[in-house]
Amino acid sequence: MKKSEKVSFVINKLQELYPVIPIPLDHKDPYTLLVAVLLSAQCTDIRVNQVTPSLWELADNPKDMMRQNVDDIKAIIRPCGLSPQKSKAIHRLSEIIMEKHDGKVPETFEELEELPGVGHKTASVVMSQAFGVPAFPVDTHIHRLMYRWNLTNGKNVTQTEKDAKRLFPRELWNDLHLQIIFFGREYCKARPHAPLECPICSKVGRAGLFK
């Protein structure tokens, strides 16, 4: 199967399996999404969604959040892991949003990535899900599946993102990155993995591995 045929197959299968695409992290605006994505680093979306209601009761906007004590933020988000770093980042980015961006989450990759605790992946999620800008955030699921489907060499997430953007139509990026994540969680887990039973790996898996 040619690579272009693999790409078409993947797109069609994911659309068939996930015609409606929910947003994994509960949020109500760009700010709460930004904080939720930051919390999701090395933590499950389920756990983040369990924690954020209490955090929003404390503060659900940058003006109120910057007025909170970092220790109070840390106590609430402790179940998400890395709470010392994340609480400081949430507090400081809230200050910066108020000081430099008039209380609004910035709408460019560059400005988002200048915020504490916000890397390229977090910025990409916010740009795509909050502002509708085409982006392809690569998490462990996407990195794993793109390699299994022989659509990237698997060296690093930066290369995987480049390959995904090169292979998939730009207008589909925002849907596809979520569809691949859901597919990885449901059908194509890291372990155990049964390639011949996987709806996509069984058709487009790496040559020699899934026969």
Q: Indicate whether 210 pLDDT > 60.
A: no
Active site residue 139: yes
- Tell me how far apart the alpha carbons of residues 7 and 75 are, in angstroms, rounded to a whole number: 45
* High-pLDDT (> 90) share of the chain, %: 89
The band of 96, judged by pLDDT with boundaries at 50, 70 and 90, is very high
Judge whether 178 and 128 are in contact, CB under 8 Å: no
Confidence label for 205 from pLDDT (cuts 50, 70 and 90): confident
- pLDDT-derived band at 1 (thresholds 50, 70, 90) equals confident
Mean pLDDT of 109-114: 98
Q: Percent of the chain having pLDDT more than 70?
A: 97
Among 42-46, 175-179, 190-194, 198-202, whose mean pLDDT is lowest?
190-194
121 labelled catalytic: yes
**Is residue 155 very low, low, confident or very high in pLDDT (cuts 50, 70, 90)?**
confident
Q: Which CATH architecture has domain 30-131?
A: Orthogonal Bundle (1.10)
Give the amino acid at 7. V
Mean pLDDT of 196-211: 75
Q: How confident is the model at residue 211 (pLDDT cuts 50, 70, 90)?
A: very low
Per-residue pLDDT at 82 exceeds 50: yes
Mean pLDDT, the chain, rounded, equals 94
Surface-to-core class of residue 200, CB atoms within 10 Å of its CB (0-12 exposed, 13-18 middle, 19+ buried): buried
- Give span(s): CATH 1.10.1670.10, the chain: 3-21+136-204
Question: Which residues contact residue 87 at a Cβ distance below 8 angstroms, ignoring those fewer than 6 apart?
Answer: 70, 71, 73, 74, 77
166 burial type by CB count under 10 A (0-12 exposed, 13-18 middle, 19+ buried)? exposed
- What's the average model confidence in pLDDT over 152-178? 95
pLDDT of 209 strictly over 60: no
CATH 1.10.340.30 residue ranges for the chain: 30-131
Amino acid 154: pLDDT: 78
Structure tokens at 49: 């969604």
Both structure tokens of 179: 């569809």
How far is 38 from 4, CA to CA, in rounded Å? Answer: 34
CA separation for the pair 19, 179 (Å, rounded): 9
Closest CA to 146 of 109, 121, 176: 176
Q: Which CATH code is given to the segment(s) 3-21+136-204?
A: 1.10.1670.10
Active-site entry in 26, 45, 60, 139: 139
| Contact yes or no for 77/51 (Cβ under 8 A) | yes
**pLDDT tens across 10-62, in order?**
999 999 999 999 889 999 999 999 999 999 999 999 999 999 999 999 999 99
Please determine, for residue 122, whether its predicted confidence score (pLDDT) is greater than 80: yes
